[in-house]
Structure 1
Amino acid sequence: MLIAMPNLAHPIFSAPIDAVDSEMVRGFLELGLEESFTLDYKRNIDPVAETAAAMANSYGGIILVGVDPDPKNTNLGGELVGVAPSEKDRLVSKMANQYEPPGWTPDVIPVTVDGKHLLVVRVDHHSAPRPLVNKHQIKIRLDGSNQYADLRMIEALFQQGAAPTPSYSSDPRFSPAHTATPYQGGEAPTVFIRAATSMFLRPDAARLRFHGPTVDALIQALSAPSYTGSSELSERLHMLLQQVGTHSYVQPWWIDPSHGHGRFVRISAGHDRSLVGQARMELTCTAALANSGSSLDVFFDIAIWTAGQKVVGDLWVQACYEAVHALLANALPALTGSLLGSAPVPPPPTELHISSPADSHFGLGNFLNTDALGPRTGAGTLRPAGEYLPEDVVSRGDLAAAVTETLRNIALDWRYLHPELPTLNA
């Protein structure tokens, strides 16, 4: 039985070079993963340069060299045959001479597993020039194969190569001021937490749209396991809501009827919206096929109404984790699995935002319990804040550490120099 791609990246994709050892590679091989957008097995170095260039023009990935295909399924890794130790230098030289523009090659990490000398070729698509040309050809990665890029894709790669790195401070999709949008015309939440990510899809993704199975996969990923098709919240999210209002009926996931079409869907769950003036919480997951369908934006929002009080205890800290966890461990893998057939490995850059649409004049200080952050240096209001999650920590699957580090950085922006955040329930 095949094992699906993990929801979060294996450490082999992001660990420091000196940490990629025989135990890590053996453990990765034991997963029995099929070749995909981000994984390939090669018996020798001959075809590696082409595949590495295709991955660089797509999502990046790992090529394990010295692994024979499985005789029953050539998309799986089989017997370890190994390569000569000198093949590392030959491969690096080959790529350096073939690639245009020159000056970039992927990491090539030698590892000995069960007496066989293997090469782990790790392609970081963020560091590669775009497009990366190999022997006068531009190829991209589709599923487990390399394909020629069409003119539209080549144009997109050139645009990406020239585009600046996105910033939450300038991107209106992620800015804290934008987070009140779903509640315009209603009672604005006291505190709003958003986890957001955006990723480039495959070159023919302009033809993609959301269908019933895709939306159902999203709902089921955020729901408790059930054989009846129920869309009740997962235990984690249900427990989070119970900390805000145990007296209130919790609505299961429902599709927002006022927002949705073939490339946009929003689902919500939580306490009844009619409970105006009472403490309550609402969860919202939004997915959009942006840029004519060539990229996927996914937001997971947690809106909290506190009935004029501060958020109880450290609930907001745990809520930040739950938003990130729901986005990266549930929503994003479900969407990309349905649209593309695999989870993104490694996960795309992810941002966390905290804002207060209810009262921007007095800031978040009126609504957040910041006792755990210790003494504050300076005065002024706690303004809405946003920060990227550390990609290396996210890639190794430690979301609790990633959220904690991000919140420490946000606390520093709020002038809390020595915050001691509570331990997250991961």
Structure 2
Amino acid sequence: MTTSLFAASAADLTIERIRSLAARPEQVESLTLEFKREYSTTLLKTIAAMANTYGGMILVGIVDQAEADKKGGERVVGVDAQNTIDKIASGCHAKFDPPWEPTFVPVPLDDESGLSVVVVRVDANTAPRPILMDLKAPIRLSGQNSTADRDRLLKLAREEPSAGVLPIGQNVMSPNLDRDTEGNATADFILRTGINLPMGEAGAWRPLSERSVAALAQTLSHSAFPSALHTLGHSSYFSATGFRQHGHNRSRTARLVYQALSRSAVPHPVEAVVTVALPEVYGSATAAVATVTIDVISRVQRYAKTVGEEYRYPVQNLLALFEGILKTTVDPGFVAEIARITDIDPVLAAQPRELHLVADRHVKDLIQSDGLEEIPDAGASAGGVFRANPALDLRDAADRQEQVDDWLRQLGLDAGLTGMENMVERYRARAQSRT
């Protein structure tokens, strides 16, 4: 995937890429993108609004399409870069409380004019919160600026800049196990993670398109996820459906389901459900947030009982599941598809920072005990909440492995077991020797 303009290095910010962006007929000003002909006080308000919301990028030196049509169709007209940067910086220090300025990258036009497009990058993770302008806190809605109401202002005042973490947070709701008519759980456990995403202009107002949902399903089916699910399922099924729309799907909700198929009384020993929910934003005075939730429901123990066997989950299978989920959520293809659905720059798609496990029994009774020992009188656990280390970049294989290993160590200790650390280290050493 080509690096987005927001995340691109200065050397990769070329006038060709800017012209291509401006020429895209579907490209409209959005939550994280705005075009400006030249410096103005409204540009300052946009900077403050983006800083108080999710950040974004302003390209100065680009005219509206209607004005471009009158002048021969050229949108990229350029500005005097140094003069424009000086005005913006001066305005940010004079108008903002507290004073703060974004990053500027001048991109020269490919002619002899001496003009440039000034790329203004607003990083919400480094900006103070809130930034006030004329005693008000601007915020960014869908392609326009607004003013924070009392509740939003109080929330901004409580937030602290945190590099790499979206201010909206990445907490997900704890899942519940489905139960039958007698109140008994119908699965061994359910695992849940997810991310929250800001909404761009088109994503906020349009329904989900069939093509975008189909593209996301295809991306998931060709990701690391199915292989991890197959490992989790052990030998419990003979085929799988791949991700497809199933169950509650609406104009602003997509539910994509993977199902393992067996010939037993447990027809789906393993299921995975990826749900994309776009908010209803009409008339909203606050920033809209979309959610992507990933659930894994496992019934492999139940399947084993139907064929007369006892089964416990090997730790390495859980390790493969954790890795498969994380690898999928940071895969460039997956990120591109959910960014397209929500109409945001892919760089704003956060990484999962929380994982929930809810089991129908003690975890120590779910996993194989080879190499693990119970701690006397330690109690037991039927799941837990696993937080990710925000300092780790889960796109990096080594960081992702470190996070998975930390989660497994927590899983063992919360279950009242010792030996998980040594077990994981031995597994990693064997895996390394095979490569």
- Tell me which interval the TM-score lies in, with the shorter structure as reference length: 0.5 to 0.7
Pair 1:60-2:55 in alignment: yes
Unaligned runs of 5+ in 2: 23-28, 160-166, 283-287, 302-309, 414-419
Instruction: Give unpaired runs (5+ residues) of structure 1.
Output: 13-23, 225-231
> Where does 1:66-77 land on structure 2 (aligned, <5 Å)?
none
Report the CA distance between 1:281 and its aligned residue.
2.1
Of 337, 341, 347, which aligns to 1:338? 341
Q: Within the alignment, does 1:302 sit opposite 2:287 as a pair?
A: no
TM-score of the two chains, using structure 1 as the length reference: 0.65
Aligned letter for 2:322? Answer: C
Contact kept? 2:329, 2:352, Cα under 8 Å: no
Query: Aligned residue for 1:289?
Result: 278
Residue 13 of structure 2 contacts residue 107 of structure 2 at CA under 8 Å; is this kept in 1? no
Please give the alpha-carbon distance, in whole angstroms, between the structure 2 residues aligned to 1:30 and 1:238. 41
1:98 pairs, out of 78, 81, 95, with: 95
Q: CA deviation at 1:137?
A: 8.5
Q: Tell me if structure 2 keeps the 8 A contact 1:131–1:157.
A: no
Return closer, same or farther for 1:347/1:207 CA change in 2, 3 Å cut-off.
Answer: closer
The CA distance in 2 between the partners of 1:163 and 1:263, in whole Å, is: 31
Task: Give the conservation status (yes or no) of the 8 Å contact 2:262–2:268.
Answer: no
8 Å contact kept, 2:243–2:257: yes
Superposition TM-score, scaled by structure 2 size: 0.64
Q: Give the 3-state SS of the residue equivalent to 1:180 in structure 2.
A: coil
The CA RMSD over aligned residues, in Å, is: 5.0
Give the deviation of 1:250 after TM superposition.
Answer: 0.8
Counting aligned pairs with the same residue, the percent is 14
Is 1:237 the counterpart of 2:225? The answer is yes
Retained in 2: the 8 A contact 1:193–1:323? no
CA distance, structure 2, for counterparts of residue 80 and residue 353 of structure 1: 48
Q: Does the 8 Å contact 1:289/1:295 carry over to 2?
A: yes
Distance in 2 between residues matched to 1:42 and 1:386, nearest whole Å: 44
Tell me how far apart the structure 2 counterparts of residues 125 and 197 of structure 1 sit (CA, whole Å).
18
Answering whether residue 196 of structure 2 is matched by residue 198 of structure 1, we say: yes
Letter in 1 for 2:337: A
Instruction: Name the structure 1 match of 2:359.
Output: 357
Q: Quick one: structure 1 residues 112 and 30, their matched pair in 2 at CA, closer, same or farther if it must change by over 3 Å?
A: closer
Higher Rg of the two aligned structures: 2
Offset of 1:206 from its aligned partner?
Answer: 7.1
Q: What SS does structure 2 have at the residue aligned with 1:266?
A: strand
**Which position in structure 2 is the counterpart of 1:320?**
322
1:384 deviates by: 1.7
Q: Deviations over 1:253-275 (max 9, x none)?
A: 34333x34444332211212774
2:129 matched to which residue of 1? 129
Deviation by residue 1:141-178 (Cα, 9 ceiling, x = unmatched): 655xxx342x7x7567436425677777xx6x432xx2
2:29 aligned with 1:26, yes or no? no
| Aligned residue identity for 1:306 | V
Aligned residue for 1:20? Answer: none
CA contact (8 A) 1:57 1:130 kept: yes
The Cα of 1:285 is off from its aligned counterpart by 0.6
The structure with the greater share of residues assigned to strand is 1
The one of 206, 210, 217 aligned to 2:212? 217
- Aligned partner of 2:397 in structure 1 is 400
Q: Which amino acid aligns with 1:367?
A: L
Give the direction of change, closer, same or farther, for the CA distance of 1:180–1:271 in structure 2 (3 Å limit): same
Residue from 255, 262, 267 that aligns with 1:266: 255
State whether residues 349 and 388 of structure 1, in contact with CA within 8 Å, keep that contact through their aligned partners in structure 2.
no
Q: 1:368 to 1:119 in 2, by over 3 A?
A: farther
Summarize the Cα distance change of 1:119–1:375 in structure 2 as closer, same or farther, 3 Å threshold.
Answer: farther
Q: Please, which moves more after superposition, 268-277 or 111-120?
A: 111-120
Separation in 2, partners of 1:80, 1:321: 48
Q: 1:179 to 1:62 in 2, by over 3 A?
A: farther
Structure 1 residues 166 and 367: CA distance shift in structure 2, 3 A = farther
Contact 1:245-1:280 at 8 Å conserved across structures:
no
Cα contact 1:57–1:132 (8 A) shared by 2: no
Cα distance, 1:209 vs structure 2 = 4.4
Q: Cα distance, 1:55 vs. partner? A: 2.0
Letter in 2 for 1:334: E
Q: 1:281 to 1:389 in 2, by over 3 A?
A: farther
Deviation at 1:326, TM superposition (A): 3.6
Structure 1 residue 32 displacement after superposition: 1.8
The 2-side partners of 1:412 and 1:327 are apart by 22
**Equivalent-residue separation in structure 1 for 2:202 and 2:62 (angstroms):** 31
| Aligned equivalents of 2:35, 2:369: Cα separation in 1 | 50
Structure 1 residue 335 displacement after superposition: 4.3
Cα deviation per residue 1:33-81 (whole Å; 9 max; x = unaligned)?
526643567797667534422322442024577x8889987667x8897
Between the two proteins, the alignment pairs up a number of residues equal to: 374
Displacement, 1:197? 1.1
